[in-house]
Amino acid sequence: MRMCRLVLLLIALGTPAVSLGVEAEAVQDPAPPKVSGEASNTTPPPLKAYVRVKKGTAAKPLSKEAKTHPWTGFLGPTRDGNSTETHLLKTWPKAGPTKVWELAAGDGYASPAIQHPYLVYPHRVGDSVLVECLHAETGQQYWQYKFATAYRDRLGYSSGPRSTPVIDGNRVYIYGAEGVLVCLELATGRAIWKRDLVREFRVPQDFFGAVGTPLLVGDRLVVNIGKVGGPCVAAFHTLTGKLVWVSGKKWGPSYASPRLVTIHGKKRVLVFAGGESRPSTGGLMLIDPSNGKLGLEFPWRSRKYESVNASCPLVVGGNRIFVSASYQTGSALLEVGPDLSSHKVVWKMVDAEHNTEPDQLGLHWGTPLIKDGYLYGFDGRNEPDASLVCVDLKAGRVVWREEPEWEQTVTVQGVEQTLTLSTLRGSFLAADGQALVLGELGQLMWMDLTPKGYKITQRSSLFLARESWCPPVISRGLLYISQNMRDPVTRSSPRLICYDLRRR
């Protein structure tokens, strides 16, 4: 695959097995937290201008015909990148959609969580994690909560939070890179309880720290703690922070986030474990959220030590689960038996280096879209290996594979250059009948995706910065994009940017 010239510019910078259901493990809470009252105050402090926020153009009024939703956790209401929002703007000027406001951000890879009018966003400035609560539409500040952090990424990536906040009523839960889990009152930012899961459960620092966003299931918060030898997964009571159950001893952490799904009419939590361990181990876990009982265990992990599982698993057709990993691991579609502890492998696909196999698929960290029996995803571990693929889920074969590219002229240090850009390993958001795609260098586009191919119907370069790995967020017709690195062309620093996608 031809590596886009912008990347060159910026760089200068096992056999699957099944395990029968395992009974829930005995629970002994190592450090029950102190609880500071209830989340009873729903009156926020007065809004005020915030020095880190730069205002743009006020958002248009929301159409009465528009369907909207909150965005209370990673990948939206269904945690799979599907939005039900309508009346979204499909055309915009060359410079992109209208900017409403932007927040000067510190370090991190977290996306915001939104429950109107509150937007909650954690990032790192200096030796503190700042949890910002802003008005989602104006960027004005309600409150800020901060806690100390000494995390340093071992591989040189950002040392800020990775996990998206989780909002539940008048509570919001923050999970830091060092495993600090804190419950705050949404309206005021007051701390209700706090836990240091890495210290309490003696979890060693992983490749990239604590990454997966906790999963809200009723009155439980499910976290992939990731201690090899157990617990792999734990559930904490949302009101008290106390440990409810633990599950799994074989595998460690994950860079995918847990998901709540329904299989054979029963609610189950999917956890795709696979972080640092010797030997490298990991795979899919199917857990009863009521008691932590472990059903299906499906090993699926690269044998390479420096590898991770990071793409969220998806349920297909009610009783099938799709899993995918990079590092020469590949993809598999499982059909789960009615007992929820047995399975058969419907098909597998390899993950070959440099697109050497016609039917190969290895998703690094992106979550694909599933539509009408077809899967659309960005295959490839690295930037130059990436391609956009369409997969027939029934047959387990690649229908088409493309490398979207286009040229853009920029001025770098007074010298005009024409760059060949690409989506590379992009992120999807299905919304209003199309796919909103964010390329990992900051290219935003609307796409039509069908088994016959793809069509870019609108495209703009928001910025030219690497590591744009946070998927787009939409709530009430407003789009939120995270720029995680400095743009070497415009020299803009990391930002959280709010754009107006409201259509009258």
pLDDT tier at 22, thresholds 50, 70, 90: low
More confidently predicted of 266 and 352: 266
pLDDT number for residue 1? 44
3-state secondary structure 141-191: EEEEEEEECCCCCCCCCCCCCCCCCEEECCEEEEECCCCEEEEEECCCCCE
pLDDT for 4 equals: 46
Instruction: Sort residue 98 into left (φ over 0), alpha (ψ -120 to 50) or beta.
Output: beta
- Percent above pLDDT 70 for the chain: 94
Confidence of residue 228 (pLDDT cuts 50, 70, 90): confident
CATH number of the domain to which 157 belongs: 2.130.10.10
Between CA 298 and CA 243 the distance in angstroms is 26
Give 136-182 pLDDT, tens digit per residue: 999 999 999 999 999 999 989 999 999 999 999 999 999 999 999 99
pLDDT at 412: 81
Q: How far apart are CA 471 and CA 486, in angstroms?
A: 18
- Tell me the pTM: 0.94
Residue 37 CB neighbours (<10 A): 10
The larger pLDDT score, comparing residue 352 to residue 80, is at 80
Q: Which amino acid is at 424?
A: L
3-state SS class at 200: helix
pLDDT at 15: 33
Cβ neighbours of residue 411 closer than 8 Å, sequence gap 6 or more:
417, 489
pLDDT in tens, 277-306: 889 999 999 999 999 999 999 999 999 999
pLDDT at residue 233, rounded to an integer: 97
Average the pLDDT over 390-404 and give the result.
Answer: 96
**If you average pLDDT over residues 120-133, what whole number do you get?**
98
Total count of domains within the chain: 1
Query: Residue 188 belongs to what domain range?
Result: 5-500
Whether residue 18 is predicted with pLDDT greater than 90 in this model: the reply is no
- The tens digit of pLDDT for each residue in 51-64 reads 999 999 999 999 99
